[in-house]
Amino acid sequence: MRDMAFRKSELAEIAALHKLAVVTAFLFFLLFTRQMAGSQAPTSNDRQAPSKADVSHAIELATDYLERACGPDGKFAYRVEIGSGRVAASYDIIRHEGAMYALAMANRAHPDPKARQTLIRAAKYLRQNYLGPGARPDQLVVWSKPLAEDPDHQFADLGGAGLGLVALAAERQIDPNSVSLEDLQALGRFVLFLQKDDGSFTSKYSKTNGPVPHWESLYYPGEAALGLIALYEADHSQQWLLAAAKGLSYLARSRAGLSTVPADHWALIATARLMPYADQVQSVVTREELLRHAAQVCNSILREQFHSGSATALDGAFDPEGRTAPAATRLEALLAALEFLSSGELHDRISSAVDRGVAFLLRAQIASGPHAGGMLGAVVNRAWDSGEVRIDYVQHALCVWVHFEEVGSRQAAR
């Protein structure tokens, strides 16, 4: 009996040691992957920059995917399981607007009748199903659910109004008769209705109860600022531009002095769009204030990027699962910053990180088959979204590639 008891004790000890070894190995792996991240990345790129031909081909594939994904009614196949081909029943109108934004960018870079037709079709779906009266008679709102679904229990997101302005303003540039300037202005008034005196925004509005307190979104303020700038460029009314500057000023002030800040790509995209008008809004926000905030965001992003030094699938990604949308949104922020940051050490680090990140996204794109041009949620198979394509995965990657191509063209011209 003592021998049996001893044997059990010995086995238990061996099992405990084995468990300790597994845990230690896992912790070592986590430490190793963190050490691969951007804190140790070089300031110059040691890898060849993505070729123009590869980027142009990726733009073509991604644009074609969004065109195919948009049905005759203007609704996108929002989320597709690549194994079964099943399209999820859920829908997100803000990501619908984001797909329109990407199509407009692609069409400006590579004029395409199919992209224009898809954008107009998607805009019609948005206007007919989600755009309705707002909190006041002179407002329009992009509701989060179709108007026909339970109209008395609706919510409207600030981001829906902001990206709605961006998307519909892009549609109006293609077809001036498709949406009236008055409708855009009514949507802009709803955005102003949600802005507070300090420049911050209420992120959500309930049709039943009004503004929803204590609910915030990281991305909605930047989307709202971008939408207001798009509206200013349509009617040249200073109120929209000043409100956008006020919103970006609040973000800069609220993050001042922090060593790490969120990867707020929409804020930097809006900042790049605002910079040509900086002299007009200097009473609200200074150029220096915007530059400091942009540098904070970029430095935080650069510390996250993986740098393996070899041809691994995760090189250029920003997390251990190689998720494509977080990588793309961070690259959108960095590319936006390259538009207005002067040359120097930070500019060089950003350029290097962008080259590496763009190459990562190129490797992640589906190159052939029924889902060609799509982007999986992650490159590591264990990730929950590694087997599906969502329109925002494609949208963000497409925006990166178009912007990367534009930045390269400007640098070559200089």
pTM, full prediction? 0.88
- pLDDT surpasses 70 at 17: no
- pLDDT surpasses 50 at 25: no
| pLDDT (mean) for 350-369 | 96
Q: Is residue 202 within 8 Å of 212, Cβ to Cβ?
A: yes
In the chain, domain spans? 54-413
Q: Is residue 154 within 8 Å of 143, Cβ to Cβ?
A: yes
Angle, CA of 234, 272 and 201, to the nearest 5°: 75
Q: pLDDT of 170-197, one tens digit each?
A: 999 999 999 999 999 999 999 999 999 9
- pLDDT surpasses 70 at 28: no
* 133 φ, ψ (degrees, to nearest 5): -60, 145
% residues pLDDT > 90 (the chain)? 77
| pLDDT (mean) for 46-72 | 92
- pLDDT in the model for residue 412: 65
- pLDDT in the model for residue 29: 36
| pLDDT (mean) for 120-140 | 94
Name the token pair of 64: 């074609």
- When pLDDT is cut at 50, 70 and 90, the band that residue 47 belongs to is low
Average pLDDT, the chain: 88
- pLDDT in the model for residue 333: 98
- pLDDT in the model for residue 21: 41
- When pLDDT is cut at 50, 70 and 90, the band that residue 219 belongs to is very high
Name the helix (H) or strand (E) containing 285. Answer: none
Burial annotation 84-116 (CB, 10 A radius, 16+ → b, else e)? eeeeeeebbbbbbbbbbbbbbbbbebeebeebb
- When pLDDT is cut at 50, 70 and 90, the band that residue 386 belongs to is confident
CATH of domain 54-413: 1.50.10.10
- When pLDDT is cut at 50, 70 and 90, the band that residue 313 belongs to is confident
Distance between CA atoms of residues 312 and 308, nearest Å: 7
Question: Environment class of residue 384 by beta-carbon count within 10 Å: exposed (0-12), middle (13-18) or buried (19+)?
Answer: exposed
| pLDDT (mean) for 69-85 | 96
